[in-house]
Amino acid sequence: MQTHDWWHLVVLGTTLMGAAGLVIVAAAPLFFEQPPPGWGHTKRIVLGLVAAAGVLLAAEWLGVH
């Protein structure tokens, strides 16, 4: 595999994980009556990782291609 192929795999993986993180953050209130302990801190971390995945996707879309 070439470096560019690895780049595509990284972008795909982070985008899928970011989407999964958004689903978890959005669906958690539907499944829990009260937020689990530590949810506020974890939620900020997940949203930060989702933002990083979005930046990586934008860099791929606008810079690489």
pLDDT of residue 63: 77
- What is the b/e burial string over 17-38, where b = at least 16 CB atoms within 10 angstroms of the residue's CB? ebeebeeebeeeeeeeeeeeee
Domain count, the chain: 1
Residue 13 belongs to what domain range? 3-64
Whether residue 65 has pLDDT greater than 70: no
8 class by beta-carbon count within 10 Å (0-12 exposed, 13-18 middle, 19+ buried): middle
User: Taken in order 18, 47, 45, 36, is the CA torsion positive or negative?
Assistant: negative
Model confidence over 18-50: pLDDT tens digits?
Answer: 888 888 888 888 887 887 788 788 888 888 888
pTM: 0.68
Torsion of CA 34, 38, 39, 41, to 10 degrees: 150
